[in-house]
Structure 1
Amino acid sequence: MKQLFFLFSVFFSLSTFAQIDKVEPPFWWSDMHQENLQIMFYGKDISQHEVSAPKDVVIENVLKTENSNYIFVTIKTKDLPTGSYTFNFSKKGTKGFSKAYELKERREGSTIRKGFDASDAMYLIMPDRFANGNPDNDSNVNLTEKANRELPGGRHGGDLQGVINNLDYLEDLGVTALWSTPLLEDNDKAYSYHTYAQSDVYNIDPRYGSNEDYKKLAAEMHKRDMKLVMDYVTNHWGAEHWMIKDLPTYDWIHQFPGYANSNYRMSTQNDPNRSQIDWRYCVDGWFVSTMPDLNQSNPLVLNYLTQNAIWWIEYANLDGFRVDTYSFNDKDGIAKWTKAIMDEYPNFNIVGEVWMHDQAQISYWQKDSPIGAIQSYNSNLPSVMDFTLHDALMTVFDEENPGWDTGMIKVYENFVNDFLYADINNLLVFAGNHDTNRINGIYKSDLNKYKLVMTLVLTTHGIPQLYYGDEIGMVGNKEKLGDGDIRRDFPGGWIGDDNNAFTETGRNQDQEAYHAFTKKLLNYRKEKEVLHFGKLLQFLPENNVYVYFRYDENERVMVVINNNPEAQELELTRYAEGLDGITTGKEILSGSEISLDKTLKIEGKSSMVIELR
């Protein structure tokens, strides 16, 4: 009896240590460019064990931290074929338990996948506010916040199935790339719909659907020659993240100790005269109290984020990243992260949010920047967001009696500084996004001003980005009514909505007017390489009329934007350089033939897109 009790005790003791709660990445792929893989095993006091692997698996390193619940095992994956490999965990020479780990086969051509570029038009959605395709997943028993569509800052139930259901709408509109705000689990008690305070970065939030649903979205988009862009967050996680609740190392996050808020002054990153305390509170300070700041200078953190990003690209078959708060990261760490991804996928694209109001400081963060080179810094980041153009677009079309530096000259001057950028075609140009006031709110639902805005965004150089609902005239004012007001539900995305703006018959007259204009211009742009990669020739605005040309060896397009309430007549001899001897053209927005031999009349508050013949 005593012997039986002893054997039972040994078995029970071993089984208590046999619990592995998490393995991350949960699996990997063979034939990756990155030769080493660091696997994190997590479980109660797991570091009390030693780890071994099959003889064909080379363990490069086993790292145990001050938290006994973690072991980080680095293996050499180069030349390892696909299959299952068993890791054994033993204690004091006695085998305790085992864990199988799978290397999968990569998709053919995975490494040379092509990311988004200036031939694309990107559409930004907040999935919780776009369409509810599966009402059964609006709330989840394991997650705190439940659906409440009556609450502007609550969860409304939009999900991945809702996006999939409306891909035909996006394709018909002329969209070729979709950027969704984050979809990974966010277990915040409130405002979790924005999903930037993630609590698990290997799983889609079940209120949006499943990991398989995300793969399905990518597959359905690829059938339509559309690209899927993931909103990736390197700077912070949510306070509810399971690793934040049980930190692998004290310095996994920035501590002061504990919480201190960022001062948000990103200019301290490249200020040669900065104080260390100001720089530290920018880079190390938390974005908000519920978003602990990740320490990318910790190699464990950096490698975890790198592998997680690559895992999602490979798993979901992604076409790009938009990286949140890019310039708040440790700049050397984020440069390594970016380079590792671009080394794995040389034709991929990543656009970083660098929300600054100075072109030199925005340029600093783009790959091969002449500004960054002054400080011997290269972020390796292919694309940045053109916030200075956005700044101009928010005011310029209300400036009808311009002075020296107001009116259309603000747009002209924005492009004067193109020499600051390493790649002007890889700038994301936009009128608004989920953090800014809606352009139709700013311009008080003036359709003519919307047309001026979108003409510029869709015909200048760079990658145009639209914010969901702008194309049907949606409005919002965050200063007066909070963020929820600029993130309203897309009409028709929920059963019982008053109208369905996803369909022509469901749109009201005003919505259709916005939509028809946007659709015409987007679909024209889709087929015009000259608007993708052609050169830009601009002329100083006269009488608040801005004229520019996009041109290449084969085509020329003339764009005229009249910001006056009154009609204007242009003497075309001034634009001879752009016209290049051509005297006729087709005006795309109206479909009319245009004579360009002497003068050109343009109505007040209107634009013309003329394909030169």
Structure 2
Amino acid sequence: MKNFVSILMLLLSMTLFSQTAKIEPPFWYAEMHNPELQLMVYGENMSQYEVRFSNTIEITDIVKTENPNYIFVTITTENVSPGTYELQFLKDNKIIFTESYELRARRENSALRKGFDSSDLIYLIMPDRFANGNPDNDNTDDTVEKANREEPSGRHGGDIQGIIDHLDYLEELGVTALWSTPLLEDNEPIFSYHTYAQSDYYKIDPRFGTNADYQRLASEMHQRDMKLIMDYVTNHWGSKHWMIQDLPTKDWIHYWEDGEEGFQRSSHKMTTQFDSNASEADKEACMNGWFDTTMPDINQKNPLVLKYMIQNAIWWVEFADLDGFRVDTYSYNDKEGIAKWTKAIMDEYPNFNIAGEVWMHSQAQMAYWQKDSKIGAIDNYNSHLPTVMDFTLHDAIVVMFAEDDQEWDKGMLRAYENFANDFLYPDINNILVLAGNHDTNRINEIYGADLNTYKMVMTLIATVRGIPQVYYGDELGMLGNKDVNGDGDIRQDFPGGWKGDPINAFTAEGRTAEQTDFFEFSKNLFNWRKSKSVIHTGKTMQFVPQNNVYVYFRYTDDSTVMVVINNNAETQTLDLKRFQEVIKAHKTGTDIISEAQISLENTLRIDAKTTMIIEF
């Protein structure tokens, strides 16, 4: 009997000491700008324990919430060297179990990393639809939705290995930065390929690969002098996130008492964020409403939430060696909370870049969200956000090239008027310009796969101020209409990304003649842009369009580029005297599209629906 009791006590002791707590961040880095670190510690009835580090690390605060499964432990890492430290869990002054916690050394000059900027050309992909490099991870035991290429809204199997396998293609195209829609785990039972309803913020979705694969992607890109941008979601989490299933605090999310399971859809009226006449009810209806039933709205007013999200973002920068963030639905967040989130990251990495999705249709309203905005200063607001997206230019692009007659406010006048409002932005070079993305109809669908129109669109995107972003497959003439066929139609698989595809557009010999025409134009334009600082940071002078012909110049003290876009259905002849204040003494230039020598002395003839980029 005595031996039985001894064995029982031993087994009980082993059970207690083998108890495992989930700690996030799972590890951290020494010598960070901000030495304060909040550890989220999770486990059954975790709040029953007191916690301490065995040596060196000082605990400055402990928060126990209404959920007994959580403890939030704040420590300082100031003057703490890289190494592994012991976190002790005690009850009645006795150590019940311990957990190891690691502080890692940072990469050399990590804090000074340079983010993406106007010298880059960003290529946007949806990884599930780009290329399947590892069919073995198409389905996994711990994720619900399985691969089915026959389902337009299902998972198709694209992954990180598929991206790595085709970096040479992106390099040939002239891409310098890659923005992938989110790669973190999304364990929703349907539409999980979209990956904006994330279920684990510290884990790459296993159907895309592993955390180590993501590190390897960044490394492979950096070897090619390319940058990696992470699509980050602050506004909402996925309904299957393990913390949503067991909330640390009820106010971790915006919970609507009158809604079913706390749900009320956002009104999407983002103008209430700065409308001085807005009601509080309308503000809450937008900012606290859920984006969708599977996307609980996160409450950045809760300091525990905000700290968790700040640290998670910084962890990914350090871990994966990132070059930037694109933040989804930026203007739906609590605006004070998202400003603190943004500032914390930019304080840690002063040369980093973050682009916020501010999908609005007024330059003044978009400019409000850019760092140091004079418009935001009216109500003492500063988002600290370096880059916003030029959605008003996108609004113009999707209609103006079908308008042969500019009349009073159509055709190329739409572009001119858009740039006439550049004075509203505090940093005009940090504007992301686009003709389409994963949420819009394909630009080639809109214009009937017309190569000449595509050339006009891409000429504009690649030569105006700001940071150009192109959507995967547009360089091949890919089509897609979500209004008719659903979102899956604008997110079709890249031809050649799957074994057995009848066309492999990743290779010159695999492309159709039409795909080749689109690709070769894009390749020549994007690679030309790479080395042109006059396009990256030069000034702009534009001239009011006449006869639907738009002429603008990018210039510096020692370089000038003249861009001519003839959106008229007929050939036009321009009197070059009108542009003499920029042409000055220059007699000739080279059209980088046709490679022809162009006389700049008298007149310039340009064919219908064509463009010229004349380098002096």
Q: Distance in 1 between matches of 2:522 and 2:95?
A: 65
Q: Distance in 2 between matches of 1:180 and 1:222?
A: 16
Q: Which residue does 2:343 correspond to in 1?
A: 339
SS class of match (1:398): coil
Q: Which residue does 1:110 correspond to in 2?
A: 110
**Amino acid of the structure 1 residue aligned with 2:371:** K
SS class of match (1:395): helix
Q: Which residue does 2:430 correspond to in 1?
A: 426
Contact kept? 2:188, 2:240, Cα under 8 Å: yes
Q: Distance in 1 between matches of 2:581 and 2:551?
A: 12
**Amino acid of the structure 2 residue aligned with 1:23:** I
Give 1:6 shift.
6.9
Q: Which residue does 1:494 correspond to in 2?
A: 498
Shift of the 609–486 alpha-carbon distance from structure 1 to 2, 3 Å rule, reads same
Q: Which residue does 1:55 correspond to in 2?
A: 55
Contact kept? 1:14, 1:96, Cα under 8 Å: no
Q: Which residue does 1:330 correspond to in 2?
A: 334
Shift of the 201–334 alpha-carbon distance from structure 1 to 2, 3 Å rule, reads same
Shift of the 497–433 alpha-carbon distance from structure 1 to 2, 3 Å rule, reads same
Give 1:582 shift.
1.1
Q: 1:598 aligns with which of 587, 595, 602?
A: 602
Deviates more, 1:54-63 or 1:381-390: 54-63
Give 1:9 shift.
4.5
Contact kept? 1:116, 1:319, Cα under 8 Å: yes
**Amino acid of the structure 2 residue aligned with 1:95:** I
Write out aligned runs for 1:31-50 (5 A): 31-50=31-50
Contact kept? 1:20, 1:41, Cα under 8 Å: no
Contact kept? 2:449, 2:477, Cα under 8 Å: yes
Contact kept? 2:16, 2:96, Cα under 8 Å: no
CA deviations on 1:144-193 (whole Å, 9 max, x unpaired) are: 00000000000000000000000000001000000000000000000000
Q: Distance in 1 between matches of 2:129 and 2:533?
A: 33
Shift of the 336–433 alpha-carbon distance from structure 1 to 2, 3 Å rule, reads same
CA deviations on 1:450-509 (whole Å, 9 max, x unpaired) are: 100000000000000000000000000000000000000000000010111011111000
**Amino acid of the structure 1 residue aligned with 2:183:** L
Q: Which residue does 1:246 correspond to in 2?
A: 246
Q: Which residue does 2:320 correspond to in 1?
A: 316
Q: 2:296 aligns with which of 285, 292, 295?
A: 292
SS class of match (2:454): helix
Q: 1:608 aligns with which of 604, 607, 612?
A: 612
Q: Which residue does 1:536 correspond to in 2?
A: 540
Give 1:55 shift.
3.2
Contact kept? 1:351, 1:384, Cα under 8 Å: yes
Q: Distance in 1 between matches of 2:463 and 2:52?
A: 59
TM-score by length of 2: 0.98
Q: Distance in 2 between matches of 1:487 and 1:419?
A: 35
Q: Which residue does 2:272 correspond to in 1?
A: 268
Q: Which residue does 1:384 correspond to in 2?
A: 388
Contact kept? 1:367, 1:378, Cα under 8 Å: yes
Q: Which residue does 1:211 correspond to in 2?
A: 211
Give 1:63 shift.
1.0
Write out aligned runs for 1:501-580 (5 A): 501-580=505-584
**Amino acid of the structure 2 residue aligned with 1:522:** F
* Count of matched residue pairs: 612
Matched, 1:396 2:368: no
Q: 2:442 aligns with which of 438, 445, 457?
A: 438
Q: Which residue does 1:64 correspond to in 2?
A: 64
Give 1:11 shift.
5.1
Q: Which residue does 1:415 correspond to in 2?
A: 419
TM-score by length of 1: 0.99
Q: Distance in 2 between matches of 1:410 and 1:271?
A: 26
SS class of match (1:536): strand
Deviates more, 1:213-222 or 1:17-26: 17-26
Q: Which residue does 2:77 correspond to in 1?
A: 77
Contact kept? 1:368, 1:378, Cα under 8 Å: yes
Gaps of 5+ in 1: none
Contact kept? 1:17, 1:45, Cα under 8 Å: no
Matched, 1:197 2:197: yes
**Amino acid of the structure 2 residue aligned with 1:607:** T
Deviates more, 1:255-264 or 1:423-432: 255-264
SS class of match (1:243): helix
Contact kept? 1:365, 1:384, Cα under 8 Å: yes
Q: Which residue does 1:259 correspond to in 2?
A: 263
SS class of match (2:244): coil
Q: Which residue does 1:367 correspond to in 2?
A: 371
Give 1:8 shift.
2.6
Contact kept? 2:55, 2:85, Cα under 8 Å: no
**Amino acid of the structure 2 residue aligned with 1:545:** V
Q: Which residue does 1:157 correspond to in 2?
A: 157
Q: 1:469 aligns with which of 467, 473, 488?
A: 473
Shift of the 520–17 alpha-carbon distance from structure 1 to 2, 3 Å rule, reads same
Give 1:94 shift.
2.1
Gaps of 5+ in 2: none
In the TM superposition, structure 1's runs of 4+ consecutive aligned residues that sit over 4 Å from their partners are none
CA deviations on 1:376-429 (whole Å, 9 max, x unpaired) are: 100000000000000000000000022211111000000000010000100000
Give 1:5 shift.
2.4
Give 1:7 shift.
7.0
CA deviations on 1:85-127 (whole Å, 9 max, x unpaired) are: 1011011222100001000010001000000000000000000
Question: Percent of pairs identical after alignment?
Answer: 62
**Amino acid of the structure 2 residue aligned with 1:20:** T
Q: Distance in 2 between matches of 1:148 and 1:141?
A: 16
